[in-house]
Homo-oligomer: A and B are copies of this chain.
Amino acid sequence: VIVVDAQTSSRSYRITVGHGLLTSLDGLWEGVIAPRRVVVCCDATVAALYLDPVRESLAAAGLDVIALVIPPGEGEKSPQRLALIYDRLYDESITRTDAVVSLGGGVVGDLAGYAAATYLRGVRFVQVPTTLLAMVDASVGGKVAVDFRSGKNHIGTFYQPWLVVADLDTLRTLPDAEMRSGGAEVVKYALLGGGALLERVERYAGSGVLPDEEIVATCVREKVTVVARDEREESGARALLNLGHTVGHAIEAATGFEGYSHGQAVGLGLRAMLWLSERCTGLDRAAAARGQRLLTSMGLPERLEDVSTDDVVGLISRDKKAVGGGVKYVLLRELGVPAPRETVAPGLEREVVEWLAHR
């Protein structure tokens, strides 16, 4: 078991990474929260796999467990589903000192977390990520949200959990595509961190085994360090975590969030970022190639397919307009040395998307 401490201005909390943790949640939160009632929120897929053991272990500890099972899919991260969750919390007379536990991936974590953040101005909240993506990214750092109209995460807030429990055993049932999706974020941390983390991720990516405690905990540590400097995305430090995401989001949006998973799109975004870094911030060719190889060995897409490059370029420009005329890209000077606020000539934006489609 590895424990990572997260410190933010609003709350400090522990992220526990290990095996066999799912049935000892109440032991892990002892001394941190003391709920009488626990609302376990998960989707139907995760419920079939893990709800019973979680429920039984909490019930055995004398807790009153309420299961809140939602259909799977990003579509549930909606104001409509949120209202149904509020209804349930209201009907069950949940109080601030009771707990909402999100058991699952990023969708459930964001949705249940937003409900927990805003019901009664905040009830106790525990993240139990069961996907690699949620373990290394969504469950840590306090971003919670629902989608609104065509805006991803358009209604949200920052609400740190009271604790995060990442049970690596849950990754055994994770579909390969989901594992690769999480792998893209792992590569992101490796490129940002460089050095030993990069080498460790390179060994892992080629191995075909599940990520170990050290890989997950190191990624979490990277994220926690950045979040501690800029909890509410105000100073700009947190923007580092957007490495690969500007182009990635445009690709997701251009395919109506259906052609590529978030992770695949981020993987393509990271490829674009390596290409741009070579041209704009002096990343050397061998380093860029090393990054591209890592993305390939993680099983991420080689190129952009079945998407109009014009649409992608258009969406990048729209994003830029939305933030007042200047998206700054996170690029790399070297592997492990980010350049956080670079502008890129519009011509190059088109060129990199064309390169992605035809490489």
Interface 0/1 of A118-150, CB less than 8 Å to B: 111110000000000000000000010100110
Count identical subunits in the complex: 2
Say if the beta carbon of A86 comes within 8 Å of chain B: yes
Contact B119 A154 (CB under 8 A): yes
Contact B121 A145 (CB under 8 A): yes
Q: Which residues of B contact A323 (CB under 8 A)?
A: 95-96
Determine the distance from Cα of A158 to Cα of B158 in the docked complex, in whole angstroms. Answer: 11
CB distance from A350 to the nearest CB of B (A): 24
Contact B157 A118 (CB under 8 A): yes
Kindly identify which residue among B95, B118, B158 contacts A324, using a CB–CB cutoff of 8 Å: B95
Contact A155 B10 (CB under 8 A): no
Q: Which residues of B contact A83 (CB under 8 A)?
A: 79
Q: Which residues of B contact A143 (CB under 8 A)?
A: 121
Determine the distance from Cα of A93 to Cα of B151 in the docked complex, in whole angstroms. Answer: 11
For chain A residues 146-199, which have a beta carbon within 8 Å of chain B? Answer: 148-149, 151, 153-158
CB distance from A317 to the nearest CB of B (A): 14
Contact A118 B121 (CB under 8 A): no
Q: Interface residues of A: mostly helix, strand, loop or mixed?
A: mixed
Say if the beta carbon of A285 comes within 8 Å of chain B: no
The chain A residues found within 8 Å of chain B, CB to CB, are 9-10, 36, 79, 83, 86-87, 90, 93, 95-97, 117-122, 143, 145, 148-149, 151, 153-158, 232-233, 322-324
Between A and B, 28 residue pairs with Cβ closer than 8 Å are A9-B9, A9-B10, A10-B232, A36-B324, A79-B83, A86-B155, A87-B149, A90-B149, A90-B151, A93-B322, A95-B323, A96-B323, A97-B324, A118-B118, A118-B156, A118-B157, A119-B154, A119-B155, A120-B156, A121-B143, A121-B145, A121-B156, A121-B157, A121-B158, A121-B233, A122-B157, A122-B232, A157-B157
